A and B are shown apart, each in its own frame.
Chain A
Amino acid sequence: AQTVTQSQPEMSVQEAETVTLSCTYDTSESDYYLFWYKQPPSRQMILVIRQEAYKQQNATENRFSVNFQKAAKSFSLKISDSQLGDAAMYFCAYRFNNDMRFGAGTRLTVKP
C-alpha cells in the first residue's frame, strides 16, 4: 500500500525567510505523481506544485520548489521569501492511477 508521511506536524518561518517542508512516501511503482496542496483556514485545497516521477528535474512554481529524490522516496517543498499569505496547512500527496493518498499535513506559521 502506498503511504505518505509528513514528519513535521508544525513548522514556523519568519516572513521573507525560506522554509522546507518534508515528505516521504512508500511505493513499489516507478511512474507516479506527487503533489503539494495548500489548505488555508477556508479549508479549500489549492494545488501548489506537482512533480512527475519520470522527470528528474525538480518542479518550480515561482517561490515554490521541490527537492525530489526518487531513490530515497523523498519529496520536500521549499518556500522562498515566505509571505504571510503562505500560512496554511500543507499536504503532500501521491497519485498512482486514480488513487491519491495524502500525508497528515504540516501546519505552517509565518511570523511577521
Chain B
Amino acid sequence: EPEVTQTPSHQVTQMGQEVILRCVPISNHLYFYWYRQILGQKVEFLVSFYNNEISEKSEIFDDQFSVERPDGSNFTLKIRSTKLEDSAMYFCASSGGGRSTDTQYFGPGTRLTVL
C-alpha cells in the first residue's frame, strides 16, 4: 500500500541553524501539507500546497518557514533560523484530487530538536 515517507526521522540542530525536512508524498496525490505537534499538544496545521504554490497557511507559518516541491517526488519544509520553540514533531501529509482531497494520509513524522 502506498504511503507517505519522511526523512530524517529525528533531526537535532542548534538554535539559529537552517533545517530542511523532507517528505515523499503518495505518488498520484496532488495536495500536500505540513503539520506540527509540540510535545503533549494538539496537531497544528502549518501549510497546504497545490499546483506548485501555497494554497493556505496558518498564522504559525511565518517568514522563517518555506515549502518547496523541488522535483516530481519530494516536498520540503525549510525553517531558516530555528528557535527553541520550533522543537516539535513535523508531519507531512498528502491527499488526492477531486472528491478524494478529503482524506489526508500522514507520514511517520520528523522529530525536530532545537538546542
* In the complex, A84 has a CB within 8 A of chain B: no
**Count class of interface residues, chain A:** 20 to 34
B75 CB within 8 Å of chain A: no
Contact sample, A vs B, 22 pairs, CB 8 Å cutoff: A33-B103, A35-B103, A37-B106, A43-B37, A43-B89, A43-B109, A44-B107, A45-B43, A45-B91, A45-B93, A50-B102, A52-B102, A93-B43, A97-B56, A98-B48, A98-B56, A100-B45, A100-B104, A101-B45, A102-B44, A104-B42, A105-B42
**A42 and B108 form a contact (CB under 8 A):** yes
Give 1 or 0 for each of A92-112: 1 = CB within 8 Å of chain B CB: 010101111111110000000
Q: How far is the CA of A47 from the CA of B111 in the complex (A)?
A: 20
Most buried by B among A45, A46, A97: A45
- Residues of B in contact (CB 8 Å), total 27
The 6 closest A-B pairs by CB, nearest first: A45-B106, A98-B48, A102-B43, A33-B102, A44-B108, A98-B56
Those of A23-57 within 8 Å (CB) of chain B: 33, 35, 37, 42-47, 50, 52
A interface vs B, CB < 8 Å? 33, 35, 37, 42-47, 50, 52, 91, 93, 95, 97-105
